[in-house]
Amino acid sequence: MDLKEQLKSLSAQDRKELLKQLQQEEKENKRNRRDAYEGLRAQFILEVKNRLFPVVDDVKAFRDWVEKEAASFRDLMRDYGQLRKDDQASFTIVDGDMKLEVRSNKVKSFDERANLAAERLVDYLKRYAMSRELGTDDPMYQLGMTMIERNRQGDLDYKSVSKLYELEDRFDSEYTEIMDLFRESNVVYKTAVNYYFHKRDENGVWRRIEPSFCRL
């Protein structure tokens, strides 16, 4: 007897029970697939986390090391007469196929009023997120909070804050007041020091080495 004949031979109640059983099995299969997917997802993210943060810590440690060592070597260059003037902050060191450039430049920054503006903006964005369906996952909230992240010295980034000005038409007058406070506080300049590494290739051309994930 084939499957069709077997089904025909079942009573209405038996067919109902069989359908219920099949539906339950399908539901369990879907749940098992979901559990397996979520387990693999959690494992993958855990592995990413465990590999990522040691790399981040290594890069931070390297930055701290190169800042300290470059400053010490600059003093050595000054004592040896390799600097044009005593307060020279930018210089280049070349040895063999490696080159290190230390570049110091003035960048726009903020005075103490920016701290108050940042505090007000955080409070504003939190209230904004609470009124949105996505909450803190709202893209505008995420963008705003990212733009006021501080650097290693605890300073706000001028270019990032400037991008917040472009969003004024998306918000109300309170947001504009906060942006005005940022503008008023943009009256000082600070010194930024950057480090550039180069290696000479087989053709004698200097190629920049950037310890950045996106550049590898």
pLDDT tens-digit readout, 82-120 = 888 888 999 999 999 999 999 998 888 999 999 999 999
**pLDDT reported for residue 94:** 95
Which helix H or strand E contains 196, and what residues bound it? strand 188-200
pLDDT at site 116: 95
What sign results for the dihedral spanned by CA atoms 199, 205, 211, 216?
Answer: negative
Cα(179)–Cα(195) distance, integer angstroms: 32
% of residues, the chain, pLDDT over 90: 58
User: Rounded distance, CA 79 to CA 95, Å?
Assistant: 19
Q: How far is CA 2 from CA 6, 7, 13, 19, 174, in A?
A: 6, 9, 20, 18, 75
Catalogue the E-assigned strands of 63-173. 91-95, 98-109
Distance CA 106, CA 44 (A): 43
In order of 41, 43, 44, 119, the CA distances from 37 in angstroms are 6, 10, 11, 40
Domain chopping of the chain, boundaries: 1-87, 89-215
Separation in Å, CA 81 to CA 58, 78, 94, 100: 34, 5, 16, 19
